[in-house]
Structures are given as structure tokens and as C-alpha cells.
A and B are shown apart, each in its own frame.
Chain A
Amino acid sequence: MMKKTIKTIIIALVLTFIYAPILILAVYSLTNATQIGAIRAFSFHNYVTLFTTEELIHMILGTILLALVSALLSTILGTLGAVGAFYSGRRTSTFINTTNQIPVVNADVVTGFSICILLVIVLGINKETYLPLVIGHVTLCAPFVYLSVIPKLKQLDPRIYEAALDLGATPFVALTKIVIPQISQGIVSGFALAITLSLDDYFIATYTKPSTFDTISTYVVNATKGAQTKIKTALWALSTVIFLIVVLIVIISNYRTSYKNRSKGEERYYEKGI
């Protein structure tokens, strides 16, 4: 419909908009500049600061640990919930389906604030116990695990489970040997999704985190308000490192799926989850 040059220009413009800030910041993270625009000398000092400042390391490791713990809990809860709801009666599954949708469509500010009110103000749980923070993140992530497992359950052939029962497997064995392996792809992508949601969250963390603990998001937001140049430029380095990790993960997973696809044939092209 459009001429080829127009298409190329649109694509180039959008790509520039998306990547220019990240890439320019990456270039400046390798200099001793304190501001973008002034070209100075090449320097690794931002990376040295990033990996030697205790405060920064604590914050990064804390964020990762929180993401792993809440993703693990969400995956267990969400998967069990999905399997249970899928094989339950209509009333139970409608209840879970509907309630599950609430944190998905709700604004994170509202989710975080309401959990804070319930746990901290009404029940009096101390934020320093990390309990409100973990519960907040699980509430954010578990519904998405649930949503990524349900489609896999719908694709299952119920006869395989019945065959296992007929051949003498107990329901529990049939579940772990037949159902779980077949929905594992959904579980894994739910887990990955939970990790990214937890890593990216700002609002739930602000309302539920202990005062001395910071996730990357809350730390960066506070750091941009203060004017500590050394920390500010070290965050440029952090942004670059995270960008490279994301690129690497995308390349690896693409290579893996294209390899799998080749062996399974072209008809699965659109089923990769895209």
C-alpha cells in the first residue's frame, strides 16, 4: 500500500525514537562525562562505581532476589490455581477467572495502595518483615502465570489423562507425569513473565517495601531527584548492562525457538507464543 521508501522512513524513525536514548546513554556511560552532550575522555569509572559501590550492589541483588522469590511463589500458586480451576465446576472456575482478572486490569498504584492499607494499616504487619512486599509482588505476578497456563490446559487432550488412570496411575501420578509435563511451556513462560513484572514494578514496591530496602525502580527514581553525579552516571552503566543482558536473552531464546521450529515443522510458526 505504501511506497517502500515511506515504509523504511517510518520504521527508521520509530526505531530511532526507541533506541536513540538507550544507545546514546550507553556511549556516554563509557566516558567520564557528567552530562550528555560534552564529549570527554573514555573511561570505565562508571562501571567500576557500579560494581564496587556496596549500596548499588545490595540494591541490584535485592531486586533480583525479590523477583526470583515472588516469581517462584507466583508460579506455584498460579499453576496450581490454573489446573484446579480448569477442572473445577463452573462456579469455582468463574470465581477464580474473574478475580484473577482484577490485578491484571487494575492500576498498579491501586493494587499497591490497597494491599498496603490491608496489611500494614488494618492488620498491622510491619513492612520491615518484607511480607507486604512479597505478597504485593505475588499478587501482581500470579494472575499472569495463571493466564499463561490456562491456554496450555485447553490444548490438552483429556483422553491421555484418562488413559493414565485406566492403566492404573493414581490421580496424583497422572497429574505429575501427564498434565504437568504437557503444560510446562506455559509454566515456564509464566515464570519468565513474573520475573519481568517484578523487576519492572515501581508502585507496589513503594507502598509496601521496608524503608531501608530499594528495588532498582525505586532507587533510580529517588536517585534522579537527588543530585549525586557519581551515582547518576553509574546508573547509566547499569542501564547499559541491563540492555545488553536483555539483548542476549532475546538472541538466545530466538535461536532456541527457531531451532525447535525447524525440527517441528513450519505449521507451529505462530504458536511460539507471539
Chain B
Amino acid sequence: MRRYSFSRKQLAIPYAVYLLCFVVAPLFVLMFYAFTNAAGQFTFKNLTMFFTDPNTLGTLFYSLGIAFVTTLCCLLLAYPTAYILAHSQLKNKSVMLMVFIMPMWINFSLRITALKEILSLLEGNLAYHPFLNAIIGMTYDFLPFMILPIYNTIVKLDPSLAEASRDLGANEFQSFLKITLPLSLPGIISGVAMVFLPAMTNYVVLDMLYNSTYIMGSLIGSYFAAYNWHGGSMIALILLAIICIFTIFTNGFGSQDENRGGVLL
């Protein structure tokens, strides 16, 4: 009889089993539910209903719109900030970065509550500007996730490249446009991935700011509240497909491993 021998490979077993049970299996269940009806019969009805109902299609385009504008706002605010921080002469840049990232660790619902109070003071009634409020809320919520990857990319750039372009006759703007901006593209892409997808699904921000229009996430929430697991599964599956396409598209440019809360020491 062979004695039991320990090897490091075996340590992977619990996690592999866990992933199979609670990551892979739920996705298969989701697929099963999405393509069956309440009686358990196979059907495409959930899928065709989504793509023929003007309401759900409207929701899809509204969430794409919200996500697009939010991402753009985050980018316009985050890029200059990250650029200035990365190029500042300060001795302790990381501390400065920390100041911009810190809100990430305060519970998002409390931050949105704070924002809501300010916005109601400024606007009087939040219901007058639902789209604007949704954009402000999402930008407020996701801004750190855009600053962080862009800063990380810019700060690692070799300054001699920009210097070389200056020596070769480019002015400051040209050198930024042709050297710094293209080289910081991986940071921008992973920032976009960090912001775009949550902006399509985080319906709580809209709820809290009294924007009652549905986005993709709210659809799942409403099916869940109505005990319609089949309809909800189909929405989840469609979201998953969007996420897959998005991830395949962005993965070519760089990994986004270190971003979600990645400044931890």
C-alpha cells in the first residue's frame, strides 16, 4: 500500500470544486432557466420576447446610452487628473493618488445618499433631471475606478520617450498626442471596462436618485421581485453575452486584474 503523500497540487482541489459548484454550475442553471418556460418546456420565447418588446429594447438602448455617457464623463475627468498626478513633482505621489481613490472604500450607498442630498439642494426637485442625475451619480460612484488604471499606466511610462520626441522637434501637444496618449491606451481601456459594465447594471444609483427608468440591471430586479426566474435568467444571460463580447474586445489590450480596489497595500 502506497503511503499518502502531500503535494502542492492537491491544494487546488477545494477551490476548483468550489468554482465548479458556485461559478460554473449557476451559469448552466441560468442557461437552462432562460430557455425553458414555467412548465419546464424548452422555449425561445424569453429570447424573442426580449428582442421584440419595444420596452425591453428601449431599456437596452437606454442602459447603453447611460453607460456610454458615464464612461465618457469619467474619462474626461479622470484622464487629466491621472495625467497631472503622474507628472507632478510631488515627492509622495502615491499619497496624492490615495486622496483620489479613498472614496472607493466608503460604502457606495452612503456616498450616493450624500450626493443625493447635495443634488436636491441644488436642483430643488430631483425628478426634473433624471438622466443628468443618473450620469452624475454614476460618474461620482465610478470615477476612482477610471483614475486608478490610467494613473498606473502613465506613471510607468518611460519619460525619455516624450523627451526624445521633444528633441526631435515635436511641440508639447504633439508629443502628448503621439507618445503619451497612445501609450496610455491600455490604462484607458481597462478603465473603460471597469466603468462601462457596472454603469449598465447598477440600477440602485438610479433608484436612489429617483430616476425610475429601467436599465438592464433593473430588469433582473423586477423579474426577481415578480418571481419570474425564467425571464430574469434570460436578461442575465443577455448581460453575460454583452460582458463576454466586451471582455474579448478589451482583453487584447491589457489585463484588468489589479483595478477593482487594487490600491490596497
- Return A264 CB to nearest CB of chain B, in Å: 14
Q: Is the contact region of chain B dominated by helix, strand, or loop, or is it mixed?
A: helix
B81 to chain A minimum Cβ distance, whole angstroms, is 5
Q: Does B214 contact A (CB under 8 A)?
A: no
> How distant is the Cα of A250 from the Cα of B195 in the complex, in angstroms?
24
- B107 and A217: CB pair below 8 A? yes
Task: Identify which of B23, B29, B224 contacts A99 (C-beta below 8 A).
Answer: B23
CA distance A258 to B106 in the complex (A): 24
Are the CB atoms of A36 and B110 closer together than 8 Å? no
Asked if A175 contacts B8 (CB within 8 A), the reply is: yes
For A236, list chain B residues within 8 Å (CB). Answer: 113-114, 117
For A145, the closest partner residue in chain B by CB is B15
Contact of B109 among A83, A92, A192, A216 (CB under 8 A): A216
Cβ A83 vs Cβ B8 within 8 A:
yes
> Is A273 a contact of B264 with CB atoms below 8 Å?
yes
Which residues from chain B contact A253 at a C-beta distance below 8 Å? 265
Min CB–CB distance B242 → chain A (angstroms): 9
| Nearest CB in chain B to that of A224: its residue | B208
Contacts of A93 in B (CB 8 A): 12
Number of A-B residue pairs, CB cutoff 8 Å, is 278
Contact indicator A96/B15 (Cβ below 8 Å) = yes
The answer to whether A139 has its CB under 8 Å from any CB of chain B is yes
Any A CB within 8 A of the CB of B49: no
| CB-based nearest A residue for B27 | A114
Asked whether A202 and B204 contact (CB < 8 A) given A18-B143, A84-B11, A117-B233, the answer is yes
Contact A142 B84 (CB under 8 A): no
State A2–B207 Cα separation when bound (angstroms): 39
Question: Known contacts A193-B261, A217-B109; is A18 also within 8 Å of B100 by CB?
Answer: yes
| Interface residue total, chain A, C-beta cutoff 8 A | 103
Q: Mark contacts of A208-236 with chain B using CB atoms, 8 A cut-off: 1 yes-contact digit, 0 otherwise.
A: 00000000110011001100000000011
Are A22 and B103 interface neighbours, CB within 8 A?
Answer: yes
Cβ 8 A contact of B261, one of A114, A142, A196, A238: A196
User: Once the chains bind, are A109 and B6 in contact (CB under 8 Å)?
Assistant: no
The answer to whether A250 touches B102 (Cβ under 8 A) is: yes
Q: Which residue of B lies closest to A185 (CB)?
A: B265
Q: Does B164 contact A (CB under 8 A)?
A: no
Minimum distance in angstroms from B15 CB to a CB of chain A? 3
Q: Which residues of A from 229 to 274 have beta carbons under 8 Å from B? A: 235-236, 238-239, 242-243, 246-247, 249-250, 253-254, 256-258, 270, 272-274
- For this complex, into which size category does the number of interface residues on chain B fall? 35 or more
The reply to whether B261 and A77 form a contact with Cβ atoms under 8 Å apart is no
**CB proximity of B218 to chain A, nearest CB, Å:** 9
**How far apart sit A104 and B255, CA to CA, in the bound complex (Å)?**
12
Contacts of B22 in A (CB 8 A): 115, 118, 135, 138-139
Q: What residues on B are CB-neighbors of A96 within 8 Å? A: 12, 15-16, 19
Contact flag A77-B229 (CB < 8 Å), given A170-B6, A224-B116:
no
Instruction: Flag if A83 contacts B11 (CB, 8 Å).
Output: yes
Q: Is A71 an interface residue (CB 8 A)?
A: no
Q: Say whether, besides A36-B121, A139-B22, A114 and B224 are in contact (CB < 8 Å).
A: no
Q: Within residues 8 to 34 of chain B, which ones have a CB less than 8 A from any CB in chain A? A: 8-16, 18-20, 22-27, 29-30, 33
When the two chains form their complex, are residues B15 and A85 in contact, meaning their CB atoms are under 8 A apart? yes
**Chain A contacts for B173, CB-based, 8 A:** 1
| Per-residue interface assignment for chain B, residues 116 to 134, with 1 indicating a CB less than 8 Å from any chain A CB and 0 otherwise | 1110110000000000000
Interchain residue pairs with CB less than 8 A apart (27): A10-B80, A11-B84, A14-B81, A14-B100, A15-B99, A17-B143, A21-B117, A80-B14, A92-B12, A96-B16, A99-B20, A99-B23, A105-B256, A109-B236, A110-B30, A113-B220, A114-B233, A117-B26, A118-B25, A144-B260, A144-B261, A193-B261, A200-B107, A203-B201, A236-B113, A256-B265, A270-B155
**Residue ranges of B at the interface with A (Cβ–Cβ < 8 Å):** 5-16, 18-20, 22-27, 29-30, 33, 77, 80-81, 84-85, 87, 92, 94-95, 97-100, 102-111, 113-118, 120-121, 140, 143, 152, 155-156, 172-173, 176, 193, 197-198, 200-201, 203-204, 207-208, 217, 220-221, 224, 229, 232-233, 236, 239-240, 243, 247, 256-258, 260-265
With A102-B23, A139-B22, A254-B98 known, 18 other A-B pairs at CB within 8 A are A2-B84, A20-B118, A35-B117, A85-B16, A92-B9, A99-B23, A107-B201, A108-B198, A113-B232, A118-B22, A135-B22, A171-B7, A202-B204, A217-B109, A221-B208, A257-B265, A272-B265, A274-B263
Give the B-binding residues of A (Cβ under 8 A). Answer: 1-2, 7, 10-11, 14-15, 17-22, 24-25, 28, 35-37, 77-78, 80-85, 87-89, 92-93, 95-96, 99-100, 102-111, 113-118, 121-122, 135, 138-139, 142, 144, 146-148, 170-172, 175, 179, 189, 192-193, 196-197, 199-200, 202-203, 206-207, 216-217, 220-221, 224-225, 235-236, 238-239, 242-243, 246-247, 249-250, 253-254, 256-258, 270, 272-274
